[in-house]
Protein backbone atom coordinates (compact mmCIF):
# COMPACT_ATOMS: atom_id res chain seq x y z
CA UNK A 1 0.00 0.00 0.00
CA UNK A 2 1.35 3.38 -1.00
CA UNK A 3 0.89 6.33 1.33
CA UNK A 4 0.32 9.45 -0.73
CA UNK A 5 -1.60 12.67 -0.18
CA UNK A 6 -4.29 14.84 -1.70
CA UNK A 7 -3.64 18.49 -0.88
CA UNK A 8 -1.66 17.37 2.16
CA UNK A 9 -4.29 14.95 3.46
CA UNK A 10 -3.22 11.28 3.74
CA UNK A 11 -4.50 8.84 1.12
CA UNK A 12 -3.69 5.17 0.59
CA UNK A 13 -3.67 2.98 -2.49
CA UNK A 14 -4.52 -0.72 -2.69
CA UNK A 15 -0.91 -1.72 -3.27
CA UNK A 16 2.37 -0.63 -4.76
CA UNK A 17 3.59 -0.13 -8.30
CA UNK A 18 5.28 -3.03 -10.08
CA UNK A 19 8.99 -3.13 -9.28
CA UNK A 20 11.63 -2.13 -11.81
CA UNK A 21 12.89 -5.26 -13.54
CA UNK A 22 9.63 -7.18 -13.00
CA UNK A 23 7.30 -8.38 -15.73
CA UNK A 24 4.52 -5.86 -16.29
CA UNK A 25 1.09 -7.10 -15.22
CA UNK A 26 -1.34 -7.91 -18.03
CA UNK A 27 -4.11 -5.41 -18.72
CA UNK A 28 -7.17 -5.15 -20.95
CA UNK A 29 -8.57 -1.61 -21.10
CA UNK A 30 -11.13 0.25 -23.20
CA UNK A 31 -10.15 2.59 -26.04
CA UNK A 32 -12.15 5.65 -27.08
CA UNK A 33 -13.94 3.63 -29.78
CA UNK A 34 -15.05 1.13 -27.07
CA UNK A 35 -12.77 -1.62 -28.37
CA UNK A 36 -10.36 -3.26 -25.97
CA UNK A 37 -6.58 -2.98 -25.93
CA UNK A 38 -3.88 -4.87 -24.09
CA UNK A 39 -0.14 -5.48 -24.32
CA UNK A 40 -0.44 -7.58 -27.50
CA UNK A 41 -1.81 -4.51 -29.32
CA UNK A 42 1.47 -2.74 -28.63
CA UNK A 43 3.85 -5.69 -29.10
CA UNK A 44 7.46 -4.69 -29.63
CA UNK A 45 6.82 -1.10 -28.46
CA UNK A 46 7.99 0.67 -25.34
CA UNK A 47 4.99 1.80 -23.29
CA UNK A 48 4.60 4.88 -21.14
CA UNK A 49 1.66 4.33 -18.79
CA UNK A 50 0.55 7.80 -17.73
CA UNK A 51 -1.93 6.90 -14.96
CA UNK A 52 -4.10 9.54 -13.29
CA UNK A 53 -7.46 10.18 -11.54
CA UNK A 54 -9.40 12.15 -14.19
CA UNK A 55 -8.98 14.38 -17.22
CA UNK A 56 -11.36 16.80 -15.49
CA UNK A 57 -8.50 18.10 -13.35
CA UNK A 58 -5.88 20.56 -14.56
CA UNK A 59 -2.89 18.46 -13.43
CA UNK A 60 -4.15 15.33 -15.19
CA UNK A 61 -4.86 17.29 -18.36
CA UNK A 62 -1.36 18.82 -18.18
CA UNK A 63 0.29 15.40 -17.94
CA UNK A 64 -1.56 14.18 -21.03
CA UNK A 65 -0.51 17.29 -22.98
CA UNK A 66 3.09 17.02 -21.81
CA UNK A 67 3.49 13.33 -22.64
CA UNK A 68 1.74 13.94 -26.00
CA UNK A 69 4.39 16.53 -26.78
CA UNK A 70 7.53 14.88 -25.42
CA UNK A 71 7.40 11.10 -25.13
CA UNK A 72 5.18 10.45 -28.14
CA UNK A 73 7.90 11.76 -30.47
CA UNK A 74 10.33 9.06 -29.35
CA UNK A 75 10.93 6.07 -31.61
CA UNK A 76 9.17 2.80 -30.85
CA UNK A 77 7.21 4.34 -27.97
CA UNK A 78 3.47 4.53 -27.27
CA UNK A 79 2.00 6.74 -24.56
CA UNK A 80 -1.05 5.23 -22.87
CA UNK A 81 -3.10 7.71 -20.83
CA UNK A 82 -5.05 5.63 -18.33
CA UNK A 83 -7.87 6.81 -16.08
CA UNK A 84 -11.37 5.93 -14.91
CA UNK A 85 -12.83 8.54 -17.25
CA UNK A 86 -15.34 7.14 -19.71
CA UNK A 87 -14.01 6.65 -23.25
CA UNK A 88 -16.39 9.35 -24.54
CA UNK A 89 -14.87 11.97 -22.23
CA UNK A 90 -11.34 10.86 -23.13
CA UNK A 91 -12.12 11.16 -26.83
CA UNK A 92 -13.71 14.58 -26.41
CA UNK A 93 -10.71 15.83 -24.42
CA UNK A 94 -8.16 14.65 -26.99
CA UNK A 95 -10.19 16.08 -29.89
CA UNK A 96 -10.63 19.44 -28.17
CA UNK A 97 -6.92 19.59 -27.30
CA UNK A 98 -5.76 18.31 -30.71
CA UNK A 99 -3.85 15.43 -29.09
CA UNK A 100 -3.00 12.71 -31.60
CA UNK A 101 0.14 11.15 -30.12
CA UNK A 102 -1.38 9.41 -27.11
CA UNK A 103 -3.75 6.48 -26.69
CA UNK A 104 -6.47 7.05 -24.11
CA UNK A 105 -7.58 3.98 -22.17
CA UNK A 106 -10.33 3.64 -19.58
CA UNK A 107 -10.44 1.22 -16.67
CA UNK A 108 -14.23 1.39 -16.41
CA UNK A 109 -14.58 -2.31 -17.37
CA UNK A 110 -11.34 -3.40 -15.70
CA UNK A 111 -11.06 -2.53 -11.99
CA UNK A 112 -8.35 -5.20 -11.71
CA UNK A 113 -5.92 -2.83 -13.48
CA UNK A 114 -5.80 -0.55 -10.44
CA UNK A 115 -5.25 -3.51 -8.14
CA UNK A 116 -2.61 -5.18 -10.33
CA UNK A 117 -0.67 -1.93 -10.76
CA UNK A 118 -1.27 -0.81 -7.14
CA UNK A 119 -2.87 2.50 -8.13
CA UNK A 120 -6.51 2.31 -7.03
CA UNK A 121 -7.08 4.92 -4.36
CA UNK A 122 -8.46 3.10 -1.30
CA UNK A 123 -9.18 6.03 1.04
CA UNK A 124 -10.16 9.68 0.88
CA UNK A 125 -12.49 11.66 -1.39
CA UNK A 126 -11.05 10.16 -4.60
CA UNK A 127 -11.58 6.58 -3.38
CA UNK A 128 -12.06 4.26 -6.36
CA UNK A 129 -10.17 6.44 -8.85
CA UNK A 130 -6.54 5.86 -9.87
CA UNK A 131 -3.60 7.60 -8.25
CA UNK A 132 -1.13 9.62 -10.31
CA UNK A 133 1.70 7.36 -11.45
CA UNK A 134 4.00 6.67 -14.38
CA UNK A 135 5.16 3.20 -15.40
CA UNK A 136 7.50 2.61 -18.33
CA UNK A 137 7.56 -0.85 -19.85
CA UNK A 138 10.20 -1.89 -22.36
CA UNK A 139 9.54 -3.69 -25.65
CA UNK A 140 9.92 -7.05 -23.87
CA UNK A 141 7.24 -6.31 -21.26
CA UNK A 142 9.62 -5.50 -18.40
CA UNK A 143 9.05 -2.54 -16.09
CA UNK A 144 11.99 -0.14 -16.45
CA UNK A 145 10.66 2.81 -14.44
CA UNK A 146 7.85 3.49 -12.02
CA UNK A 147 6.88 6.58 -10.09
CA UNK A 148 4.03 6.88 -7.63
CA UNK A 149 3.55 10.64 -7.40
CA UNK A 150 3.46 11.33 -3.64
CA UNK A 151 1.05 14.30 -3.87
CA UNK A 152 -1.90 13.74 -6.22
CA UNK A 153 -2.16 17.42 -7.19
CA UNK A 154 1.47 17.50 -8.42
CA UNK A 155 2.77 16.44 -11.82
CA UNK A 156 5.07 13.45 -12.28
CA UNK A 157 8.83 13.78 -12.75
CA UNK A 158 8.82 13.97 -16.55
CA UNK A 159 12.60 14.27 -16.80
CA UNK A 160 13.25 11.07 -14.85
CA UNK A 161 10.64 9.15 -16.85
CA UNK A 162 11.80 10.41 -20.23
CA UNK A 163 15.45 9.75 -19.38
CA UNK A 164 14.64 6.02 -19.38
CA UNK A 165 13.42 6.33 -22.97
CA UNK A 166 16.43 8.06 -24.55
- Which residue numbers are catalytic? 60
Cα distances from 156 to residues 36, 59, 139, in angstroms, run: 27, 9, 22
Q: In what order do the strands lie in the sheet with 36-37?
A: 36-37, 29-30, 102-106, 77-83, 46-51, 133-137, 143-148
Angle at 26 between CA 20 and CA 29, to 5 degrees: 120
Amino acid sequence: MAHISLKGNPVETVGTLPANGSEAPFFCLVKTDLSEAGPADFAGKRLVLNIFPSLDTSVCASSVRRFNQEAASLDNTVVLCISADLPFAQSRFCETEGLKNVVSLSVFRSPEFGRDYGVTIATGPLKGLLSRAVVIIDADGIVRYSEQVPEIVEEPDYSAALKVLV
